[in-house]
Amino acid sequence: MNVTWLDLADNTPFGLDNLPYGVFSVAGAPERRIGVPVGDQVLDLTAAAAEAAAAFAPLLTDGVLNPLLAAGPGTWREVRESVREWLTEPRYADQLRPHLVPLTEVTTHLAFEVADYVDFYSSEHHALNASKIFRPDAAELPPNWKHLPIGYHGRAGTVVTSGTPVVRPYGQRKPRNVDVPEFGPTQRLDIEAEVGFVVGVPSVTGTPVSTADFEAHVFGVCLVNDWSARDLQAWEYQPLGPFLAKSFATSVSPWVVPLDALQHARVEGPAQDPEPFEYLRTSEKWGLDLAIEVRLNGHLVSSPPFASHYWTAPQQLAHMTVNGASLRTGDLYASGTVSGPERHQRGSFLELSWGGREPFELPDGQSRAFLEDGDEVVISATAPGPGGTRIGFGEVRGTVVPS
């Protein structure tokens, strides 16, 4: 823990070893600024960098992170080191204090303009659970699952920031016991607790990005709630995969934690058997020991562990570019639903209620199989930092509102 002129609690999730980035505004001043939460305040980095005449200040004036994302690892490190210096050296205190705003007074916004959005399906426990729920007689992983990180292209334009209400979507569904589909609001609205990776540096069409180049392209990590309408999904998904069952909304947390803040959270991913193709092999460990928590109406309903996720972020990045598809600044790719082996580690209601057949009880006496109107879901996470500290990801929050 570094010494700082700020009054920081030892156990703050936003300590000096975290320093994530987001976009915020305050009441009466609607222009969006780049912010760095520290303790229970947010540093207005746009204003602080301008006042310091920092070389990187022009990257922080657009109200989105994209120019900073595009600038690459050298600049990312320079900004991070400057912010740490400003917050630790007492000589900067008087200059910085006017640019610190209480977290409770800020409105956060979507931190980056999302270019393309890809979602994977890389938790072995989630994939096996889904298999058991839908194919109880022949439950196994799809034959390709251990050879490649399965994914689909989602809808970038409906990625929304934490706090955005989610309107229950309409669509087609076909109950098992009837012959014709019906149309109406989804009756099986669900969540997927996921980890998102934000691409900074673009790549060239035709040139795959190797696993070793992960840190040269990916800026940082956020939390994702991949809202899913299971009844719509079941009727529409064959043979081309998810479409309208997921494109209505995908929520992301406001703060993007830079990879540099996650060095103490890195773990060896699970052993992979069979050994993957050469382009999917990694020499550096990039499993991430995130402890995720899912709350429904304030009650903890699941604690999915990310450390055991089968395919890691560098492998997903290498796979989605191996055909020559290029990366753009602001691309977001998500891990896939994070589920562990235990019942209380399942990252979706589909799994928690076992396909809706086993509604689960809440401490207030209510039970749920899928989401009801008015339900609020909050996904949060922390990861190990240096010296026993925790790196906080904040939370991604969303409330279901009627169609």
| Active-site amino acid positions | 126
> Does residue 17 touch Mn ion according to CB under 5 A?
no
Q: Hey, how many other C-beta atoms are within 10 angstroms of the C-beta on 359?
A: 15
Q: Cα–Cα distance between 23 and 91 in angstroms, integer?
A: 26
- Tokens at 171, concatenated: 């669509």
Question: Residue 44 or 226: which CB sits closer to Mn ion?
Answer: 226
**Piece in contact with Mn ion (CB under 5 A), picked from 223-231, 248-256, 356-364, 381-389:** 223-231
Residues in the chain: 403
**Shortest spacing between CB 192 and Mn ion, in angstroms:** 4
CB 355 within 8 A of CB 381: no
Question: Residue 48 or 127: which CB sits closer to Mn ion?
Answer: 127
- How many residues interact with Mn ion (rule CB under 5 A)? 3
**Shortest spacing between CB 347 and Mn ion, in angstroms:** 9
- Binding pattern to Mn ion, positions 49-88, x when CB under 5 A? ----------------------------------------
Q: Quick one: which H or E segment has residue 86?
A: helix 73-88
Question: Residue 88 or 164: which CB sits closer to Mn ion?
Answer: 164
Interacting residues with Mn ion between 185 and 204 (CB under 5 A):
192
Select from 226, 331, 351, 375 the one that contacts Mn ion (CB under 5 A).
226
**Piece in contact with Mn ion (CB under 5 A), picked from 25-33, 96-104, 116-124, 279-287:** 116-124
Q: Cα–Cα distance between 360 and 63 in angstroms, integer?
A: 42
**Shortest spacing between CB 168 and Mn ion, in angstroms:** 18
**Shortest spacing between CB 120 and Mn ion, in angstroms:** 8
Provide φ and ψ at 284, rounded to 5°.
-105, 145
**Piece in contact with Mn ion (CB under 5 A), picked from 1-9, 85-93, 220-228, 305-313:** 220-228
Q: Taking CB positions, which residue lies at the least distance from Mn ion?
A: 226
Provide φ and ψ at 78, rounded to 5°.
-60, -45
Question: Residue 124 or 192: which CB sits closer to Mn ion?
Answer: 192
Question: Residue 21 or 306: which CB sits closer to Mn ion?
Answer: 306
Q: For residue 225, give the 3-state DSSP assignment.
A: strand
Give the closest residue to 246 by CA, choosing from 165, 338, 152.
152
**Shortest spacing between CB 60 and Mn ion, in angstroms:** 32
**Shortest spacing between CB 206 and Mn ion, in angstroms:** 28
CB 341 within 8 A of CB 125: yes
* Tokens 């320093």, located at residue: 19
Question: Residue 127 or 318: which CB sits closer to Mn ion?
Answer: 127
Residues 78-101: b if buried by 16+ CB within 10 A, e if exposed: ebbebbbebbeeeebeeebeebbb
In 66-202, the DSSP E strands lie at 100-102, 106-109, 117-120, 151-153, 159-161, 166-167, 170-173, 182-185, 189-190, 193-199
CB 285 within 8 A of CB 267: yes
**Piece in contact with Mn ion (CB under 5 A), picked from 36-44, 148-156, 222-230, 269-277:** 222-230
Q: Hey, how many other C-beta atoms are within 10 angstroms of the C-beta on 155?
A: 17
Question: Residue 186 or 389: which CB sits closer to Mn ion?
Answer: 186
**Shortest spacing between CB 284 and Mn ion, in angstroms:** 26
**Piece in contact with Mn ion (CB under 5 A), picked from 172-180, 226-234, 367-375, 379-387:** 226-234
Interacting residues with Mn ion between 118 and 137 (CB under 5 A):
119
Q: Cα–Cα distance between 115 and 362 in angstroms, integer?
A: 38
Q: Beta strand 332-334 with 193-199: parallel, antiparallel or unpaired?
A: antiparallel
List interacting residues with Mn ion (CB under 5 A): 119, 192, 226
